[in-house]
């Protein structure tokens, strides 16, 4: 009887164990088959909206849940930072250097930068082939005084390597309190190896226009930047041209990084008739906005050449392209930078924001500028290893030569 009792107890224990094991296996199997998003608890907004129902986010949540489960240093797991990091990765996957996501701190700094003055080196910075590049040093500012040139590639900012930075991160590191210094490690085509420049930041002063009367009835308007006040200053320059009784014009857009499209349209209006297209703005859905001339046209029949280089970007390229398309104006110098896109700043929840490219600029004849630039009609290249003497300017000389034959 005792043996039968023990056997019965053993059978009961084995049955309970089997049921428990089966239940555990079922729980494990069921859990493994659950959508990955359900395995990450206490996170809101996990379910995709209807418009994204054909996109499988399971891998994303699977990675998230495995990080929370397996990552060794649990104190470093900050869910909000993980979410912001994921959004940044989403935006950067588009491979557009001007489309960026800003978490709260970066968003606040960006908003302050576009509203007011700041300390910096006085150079327009862009991305070219994923490398932080000087578009143009602004005249009279620290970058120009230190010897930086358009096309210089920035490999390090202080001790930070730029290969992993987006454009806004690079700009934020270069900017700082006036009077403080920043070290830039720069590579130029003429350098055997990278060179370090130590530059003291200043409050940036933007010079808009210079004018000069040249021999042979030639007048030069040098436009440094398409700022808000540039349209009015260009009007004054046109009056100076008329008062000088010159007959021919050089429009110098070298190292002009651009600015406002409306200003570019206004300046283009001096060279065109009423209603002529100065620029076209094409959106992702194929729709276009057209920016048309106000028809000032005082300079439309004036023999003109435009000087450009790799530092001519954005609004400079719009004006140069418009004058060539509309009037057959010759571009002289080197290929322009190729920055022809439009960005919109969108304020987002949680004090974050995003800058997104919404359109691309085209010349009146439909030539796309972005990433391509404008090839000059007359190429004048200065060897990278050649240092020009004071007052020497082969591109200006070529412009005067061409005008003298017109």
Span 344-365, pLDDT tens digits: 889 999 989 998 999 999 999 9
* Catalytic residue chosen out of the listed positions 269, 314, 341, 353: 314
Cβ atoms of 184 and 174 closer than 8 Å: yes
The pTM assigned to this predicted structure is 0.72
Winning range, highest mean pLDDT, from 20-29, 196-205, 248-257, 386-395: 248-257
Separation of CA 369 from chain center = 14
Res. 396 pLDDT band, cuts 50 70 90: very high
Of the residues 152, 256, 266, 325, which is catalytic? 325
pLDDT tens readout for residues 2-13: 444 445 555 554
pLDDT band for position 342 (50/70/90)?
confident
Q: Which domains does the chain have, with CATH numbers?
A: 104-203 (2.30.42.10), 209-383+393-404 (3.90.226.10)
Confidence of residue 28 (pLDDT cuts 50, 70, 90): very low
What number is the average pLDDT over the span 301-323?
Answer: 96
Please determine, for residue 37, whether its predicted confidence score (pLDDT) is greater than 90. Answer: no
pLDDT of residue 71: 93
Give the list of residues 6+ apart from residue 343 with CB closer than 8 angstroms, or none: 98, 99, 355, 356, 357, 358
Task: Give the residue among 263, 276, 355, 271 at the shortest CA–CA distance from 314.
Answer: 263
Asked if the model's pLDDT at residue 384 lies above 70, the reply is no
Whether 115 sits among the annotated catalytic residues: the reply is: no
C-alpha 213/C-alpha 87 separation (Å) is 54
Q: In the prediction, which pLDDT does 383 show?
A: 74
Q: Is the pLDDT of residue 30 over 70?
A: no
pLDDT of residue 107: 77
Q: Which residue has the higher pLDDT, 202 or 115?
A: 202
* Out of 53-57, 67-71, 189-193, 235-239, least confident range: 53-57
Q: Position of tokens 């590049």? A: 133
Q: Is 15 annotated as catalytic?
A: no
Please determine, for residue 182, whether its predicted confidence score (pLDDT) is greater than 60.
yes
pLDDT band (50, 70, 90) for residue 55: confident
First to last CA, the chain: 125
- Which listed residue (339, 341, 352, 370) is catalytic? 339
Q: What is the rounded average pLDDT of the residues 293-304? A: 97
- Of 3-7, 49-53, 209-213, 381-385, the range with the lowest mean pLDDT is 3-7
Q: Does residue 325 have an active-site annotation?
A: yes
Which element (helix H / strand E) includes 206?
A: none
**CB distance 143 to 176 below 8 Å:** no
Closest by Cα among 245, 235, 253 to 306: 253
Pairing of strands 248-252, 304-308: parallel
């Amino acid at each position: 009887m005792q043996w039968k009792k023990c056997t019965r107890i053993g059978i009961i224990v084995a049955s309970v164990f089997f049921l428990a094991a089966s239940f555990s296996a079922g729980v494990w199997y069921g859990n493994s088959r659950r959508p990955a998003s359900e395995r990450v608890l206490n996170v809101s907004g996990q379910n995709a909206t209807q418009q994204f129902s054909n996109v499988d986010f399971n891998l994303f949540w699977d990675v998230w849940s495995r990080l929370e489960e397996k990552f060794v240093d649990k104190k470093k797991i900050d869910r909000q930072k993980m979410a912001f990091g994921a959004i940044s990765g989403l935006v950067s996957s588009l491979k557009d250097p001007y489309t960026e996501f800003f978490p709260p701190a970066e968003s606040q700094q960006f908003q302050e930068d576009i509203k007011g003055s700041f300390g910096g080196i006085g150079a327009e910075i862009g991305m070219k082939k994923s490398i932080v590049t000087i578009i143009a040093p602004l005249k009279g500012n620290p970058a120009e005084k230190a010897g930086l040139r358009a096309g210089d590639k920035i490999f390090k900012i202080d001790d930070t390597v730029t290969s992993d930075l987006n454009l806004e991160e690079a700009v934020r590191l270069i900017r700082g309190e006036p009077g403080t210094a920043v070290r830039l490690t720069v590579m130029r085509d003429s350098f055997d190896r990278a060179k370090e420049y130590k530059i003291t930041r200043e409050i940036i002063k933007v010079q808009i226009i210079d004018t000069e009367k040249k021999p042979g009835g030639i007048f030069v308007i040098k436009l440094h930047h398409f700022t808000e006040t540039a349209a009015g200053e260009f009007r004054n320059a046109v009056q100076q041209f008329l008062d000088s009784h010159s007959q021919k014009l050089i429009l110098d857009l070298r190292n002009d990084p651009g600015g406002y499209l409306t200003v570019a349209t206004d300046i283009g209006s001096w060279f065109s008739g009423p209603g002529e297209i100065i620029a076209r703005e094409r959106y992702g859905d194929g729709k276009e906005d057209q920016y048309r001339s106000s028809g000032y046209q005082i300079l439309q029949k004036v023999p003109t050449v435009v000087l450009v280089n790799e530092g001519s970007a954005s609004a400079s390229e719009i004006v140069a392209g418009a004058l060539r398309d509309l009037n057959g104006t010759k571009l002289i110098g080197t290929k322009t930078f190729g920055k022809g896109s439009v960005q919109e700043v969108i304020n987002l929840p949680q004090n974050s924001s995003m800058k997104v490219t919404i359109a691309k600029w085209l010349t009146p004849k439909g030539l796309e500028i972005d990433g391509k630039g404008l090839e000059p009609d007359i190429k004048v290249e200065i060897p990278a290893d050649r240092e020009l003497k004071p007052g020497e300017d082969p591109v200006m000389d070529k412009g005067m030569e061409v005008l003298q034959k017109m």
